[in-house]
Structure 1
Amino acid sequence: MRSSVEIFDVAGGETRIVWQTDRLVEAPNWSPDGNFLVINGNGRLYRLAFDGSEPTEIDTGFARQCNNDHGISPDGSTLVISDKTEFGQSAIYLLPAEGGTPRLVTRNLPSYWHGWSPDGRALAYCGIRDQVFDIYTISVDGGDERRLTHGEGRNDGPDWSPDGEWIYFNSSRTGRMQIWRVRPDGSDVKRITNSPYGDWFPHPSPDGKHLLVLSYDGDVFDHPRDLDVRLRLMDPEGGNAHVLFELFGGQGTMNVPNWSPSGDAFAFVRYQPER
């Protein structure tokens, strides 16, 4: 086994395995109807049911180099992908959830999707412009991007709060990577975590009760895979933070929104070392 796709029940504190494979797969999204997960592997996207069956590939047209920054619209009708086939750098596209031809959204590259506004009208993403990592938003119809951060360290991993009032993200502006949040208009920036860890990929729960964070050891740079990490849960304001469990993972474990629609569970990927 290389990759184990699993679900953690928050109330019961128990984990169950959905599917295991000797391939490298990453970044499970939970469908809004609760019926399946979307994962990526080897540049492709797959739909994974909960009945133990093998995943089925989603037709992404010409986009055959999808990375692990993908997701499903709040109404379940549309997929967003980040793919480098067309330009040699990651661009963000939309396509029908059942598969189809991708439509380009971001013309500035590279861009890596991470969050969808609750009303389905806007996307949040990390854009690298002149080697500077910042948080941007853009309409699902494309057009001009809005820059929310301005080179205060490396800024990455944005995800929207369920009420649409905040965009959570991770930033190295104070040295070690920590969790912050900002209004969608770029105002009122606030630090959420002040931990000894390297905190990445904040995901607010759909019920607004929790914030889930992937935490590396404090001396780890970037977000590599195949390390001992921990998943931590806290209040949306950062209080009551605690470790849910430790695992071998990192990159690919939960890069993108991974909560169940009800907010009582989340999906993640656990890894075994390559042999």
Structure 2
Amino acid sequence: MKIEVIIIFIFAGFALLEAWRGKLLRRDGEVSDDARVEAISTLLVVAVTQPTILFTVSYLLGFILPEYRSALAETAIAFQILLLLVFDDMMQYWWHRMSHTFIPLYKLHRAHHNGKYMSIRIVYRNNIFYYAMMPSLWLSGVLIYLGLGEVYAVYLVVKMAVIFGAHSEWKWDRFLYNRPWLNPITWVIERTISTPSTHSAHHGLDPSDGITTYKGNYGNLLFFWDVLFGTAKISRQYPERYGVSGMLRADWKEQLFWPFYTTPRKQKAPSKDTDVSMPTK
């Protein structure tokens, strides 16, 4: 079975869980642009952006460095996994972190936080240029060219399953938190991979709730990067509200296509409402 099909089935599984719980469509706080942004961004990254990047890298390296094709194919699987964790997952951690500290990148990433809910729907919700510029996708293309394709396929299935679970409205980690006897295992899990609790905290609306953290919990597959680089916040709780506040309205075209489109605005947002998720200058 192709990797794309497996990932689609995992995505569909989380979507069905949310639908069964009545949490997939017509979410509280949803506005008319939300579904449009989510559908377009998901379709573009899966069908256009990622395949185009991988094809481009393969074509360019095949032309410039043909002798290095599959050069690492016979290396140990553990070594290949380590390369993927460092050059794909850790690099995505730093890209995500930069997107919350560097204003132009934040404007590409803000669409991901615009939704006032957690859901499988928002996994790929980003400005189209956010993924096109993502270093980890380009570096993954290089590693695939060097012969890590088979290991990458398995790695990507695991990574996307974790990311889907971290964004889903279905909080699978409640099972762990409600069973104190599992605490030693839970302690390891929540410091190793992204969980609904740690990633929901990153999407929270109000940092004064003691749970929300805009300046942390950036990990995608591994939450370990947050632990290692000092940006981890673990509360084993979930924010009651999600999204960003105090920013001028950005319609679906700006969310997807900024800087080539900016929503016409008549007035500035009230100064008392500042977007606490926005990078400080």
Bin for the TM-score computed over the shorter chain: under 0.3
Q: Which has the higher contact order (CA 8 A, sep 6+)?
A: 2
Question: Of Structure 1 and Structure 2, which has the larger fraction of its residues in strand?
Answer: 1
- TM-score norm. by structure 2 comes to 0.23
- TM-score norm. by structure 1 comes to 0.23
Which structure is larger by alpha-carbon Rg, 1 or 2? 2
